[in-house]
Amino acid sequence: MPPFEPVIGLEIHAQLLTTTKIFCGCSTRFGAEPNTALCPVCIGLPGALPVLNEAAVELAIRASLALGCDVHATSIFARKNYFYPDLPKGYQITQYDRPLATGGRVDVRRDRGSVSLRITRVHLEEDAGKSLHDGFPESDVVTRLDFNRSGVPLIEIVSEPDLRSPADAAAAFAAIREILVAIGANDGNMEEGSLRCDANVSVREGPDAPFGAKIEVKNLNSFRHVERALAFEIERQTTAIQRGDRLHRETRLWDPAAGVSRAMRSKEEADDYRYFPDPDLPPLTVAPEWIERIRVSMPELPRARRERFVREYALPEYDAEVLTQSGAVADYFERVARVSGNAKAASNWVMGDVLRKIKETRLADDAIPLKPESLAELIRALDQGTITGPIAKDVFEKMFASGRSAADIIASEGLARIADTSAIDAQVRAVLDANPSAVAEYRAGKTRTFGFLVGQVMKATGGRADPALVNDALRRALADSGGAVSD
Ligand SMILES: [Zn+2]
């Protein structure tokens, strides 16, 4: 039997970064005391009327444009009717047959090349509340409800089933997350639930075979979970088919701790929800001028920026990739590169020392205390030979900790490079005198000792001696003294 081919599509729910909910003025802040951000609208008390939040629409349009979709002049809010304890209204306001945007495309980078993922649609909807099952004394018999999330604005992004491996699916989720974060539509925080991914997966006997039964796997709140859950599902479905079982459409829940997916419910047909246009909300109309205004205000997307970094700064692709992981870091790098006039050095410092410091100090990417101009000054000092490489690392640490300028630290601590050859010669002689056995080893042909002697001279000068001059001076001294070291 030929190997089965997996067919995968994604459904991503992203919370829009508004301060208030989609149909009322309640706060969307994460972590508030349960049931403190509520009003009659978001818990659906009779007679309460929803009013659409313009900021949510604007962010949804930004996301749609960034995902390459056509934004429609008119879209319709519909009621999706179902009963669930976390949905006190008895329906969710969403968009159904007339979504905000359709027909997009995202390029997904892989280890080799890229794969194109078609975006079917982007629609606006409200989030439901949250059931709290654990962590209370009576949790075995009682479920508690927190409605703070009720009415938080979401977009749902639905893709075509274009993906063919768990790794591609994880990469696609990452690519979409990167875009949403870059345009400020979503904070990318999967742990707090502001970005969630469900995957539809089926297997078939080959690229030309009809699609198999679509299984939806929910609760994939990390790239790793996406990959593991899909690998598990593909294996499970393949085994079932080989055994002669018939698979049915269903929704399953991924249990990351156990590493298995479990049946949650058989999939309702679409008309089970009795969708109909919400009579409380007029059709959403979006003027073409508004879309245009948003289009011109869009920041450069990560992929375009990556390509520009390679082109404009002649950086290796790896550098461009690391530097564009965050918009703030990319901005910082560009400033350092422009002011220092040395893009590759700027890249090395930002990728290495700056990112390390951000990690160590748990700083936000946009709160780097070292000004890009200051780092550029340090790079120039190094390029002009004012200081040596080892000293530059030291000055960097001091600048980062104190906010003082490179020039100030170099001058006040006497860290300027020693380029005076007579001073270096004197240090070299002192080191040779102090290490007769190393000198003897060098003469006996153990040339590695040379590096040790260089190190001793650098140490004696506190790292300030010009390493190239030390090398020359040492070579000369060892040749001159021709076997006998002065004593
Ligand atoms: Zn409210």
Q: Per residue in 344-379, pLDDT tens? A: 999 999 999 999 998 888 888 788 889 999 999 999
- E strand intervals along 110-249: 114-126, 130-132, 144-146, 153-159, 195-204, 215-220
* pTM, full prediction: 0.75
Cβ contact 388:470 at 8 Å: no
How many whole angstroms from 328 Cα to the centroid of ligand 1?
33
Whether the predicted pLDDT of 192 surpasses 50: yes
Which pLDDT value is given to residue 486? 40
Return the H-helix or E-strand segment holding 401. helix 389-402
Return the H-helix or E-strand segment holding 402. helix 389-402
Q: How many CB atoms lie within 10 A of CB 13?
A: 17
Highest mean pLDDT among 91-95, 427-431, 474-478: 91-95
Which pLDDT value is given to residue 86? 93
Whether the predicted pLDDT of 479 surpasses 60: yes
How many whole angstroms from 181 Cα to the centroid of ligand 1?
26
Cβ-based neighbours of 260, under 8 Å, separated by 6 or more: 232, 254
How many whole angstroms from 39 Cα to the centroid of ligand 1?
4
Task: Label residue 485 by pLDDT band (50, 70, 90).
Answer: very low
How many whole angstroms from 66 Cα to the centroid of ligand 1?
29
How many whole angstroms from 426 Cα to the centroid of ligand 1?
78
How many whole angstroms from 23 Cα to the centroid of ligand 1?
7
Chain-centroid distance of CA 461 in Å reads 43
Which pLDDT value is given to residue 105? 94
Which pLDDT value is given to residue 361? 87
d(C-alpha 375, C-alpha 24), whole Å:
46
DSSP 421-462: HHHHHHHHHHHHHH-HHHHHHHHTT-TTHHHHHHHHHHHHTT
How many whole angstroms from 59 Cα to the centroid of ligand 1?
19
How many whole angstroms from 290 Cα to the centroid of ligand 1?
27
How many whole angstroms from 250 Cα to the centroid of ligand 1?
33
Which pLDDT value is given to residue 482? 54
Can you say whether the dihedral through the CA atoms of 330, 331, 336, 338 is positive or negative? Answer: positive
Task: Label residue 390 by pLDDT band (50, 70, 90).
Answer: confident
How many whole angstroms from 154 Cα to the centroid of ligand 1?
15
Which pLDDT value is given to residue 303? 83
Which pLDDT value is given to residue 87? 94
β 215-220/195-204 pair status? antiparallel
d(C-alpha 475, C-alpha 463), whole Å:
19
3-state SS class at 308? helix
How many whole angstroms from 138 Cα to the centroid of ligand 1?
29
Count of positions (residues) in the chain: 487
How many whole angstroms from 133 Cα to the centroid of ligand 1?
24
Dihedral, CA of residue 27, residue 33, residue 35 and residue 39, to nearest 10: -30
How many whole angstroms from 48 Cα to the centroid of ligand 1?
10
Highest mean pLDDT among 60-74, 180-194, 460-474: 60-74
Whether the predicted pLDDT of 26 surpasses 90: yes
How many whole angstroms from 218 Cα to the centroid of ligand 1?
27
For the segment 370-396, the average pLDDT, to the nearest whole number, is 92
How many whole angstroms from 84 Cα to the centroid of ligand 1?
19
Spell out the alpha helix ranges (H) of 297-371: 302-313, 317-323, 327-340, 343-349, 355-361
The pLDDT tens digits for 281-295 are 999 999 999 999 999
Q: Nearest CA to 285 among 49, 64, 72, 10?
A: 72
State both tokens at 374. Answer: 């200051």
Spell out the alpha helix ranges (H) of 32-153: 54-66
How many whole angstroms from 24 Cα to the centroid of ligand 1?
5
d(C-alpha 30, C-alpha 26), whole Å:
12
Q: What is the mean pLDDT of the chain?
A: 91
| Class of residue 435 by CB neighbours under 10 A (exposed 0-12, middle 13-18, buried 19+) | middle
For the segment 408-426, the average pLDDT, to the nearest whole number, is 86
The pLDDT tens digits for 226-272 are 999 999 999 999 999 999 998 888 999 999 999 999 988 776 555 58
Cβ contact 305:330 at 8 Å: yes
How many whole angstroms from 31 Cα to the centroid of ligand 1?
16
How many whole angstroms from 147 Cα to the centroid of ligand 1?
10
d(C-alpha 314, C-alpha 343), whole Å:
8
Whether the predicted pLDDT of 109 surpasses 90: no
How many whole angstroms from 308 Cα to the centroid of ligand 1?
44
DSSP annotation of 301: P
How many whole angstroms from 148 Cα to the centroid of ligand 1?
9
For the segment 177-201, the average pLDDT, to the nearest whole number, is 94
User: What is the radius of gyration, based on Cα positions, of the chain?
Assistant: 31
The pLDDT tens digits for 56-103 are 999 999 999 999 999 999 999 999 999 889 999 999 999 999 999 999
For the segment 306-318, the average pLDDT, to the nearest whole number, is 94
How many whole angstroms from 286 Cα to the centroid of ligand 1?
24
How many whole angstroms from 466 Cα to the centroid of ligand 1?
67
How many whole angstroms from 191 Cα to the centroid of ligand 1?
24
How many whole angstroms from 302 Cα to the centroid of ligand 1?
35
How many whole angstroms from 123 Cα to the centroid of ligand 1?
21
How many whole angstroms from 276 Cα to the centroid of ligand 1?
23
DSSP 87-122: -TTSEEEEE-SS-SEEEEEEEEE-SSSEEEEEEEEE
d(C-alpha 475, C-alpha 482), whole Å:
11
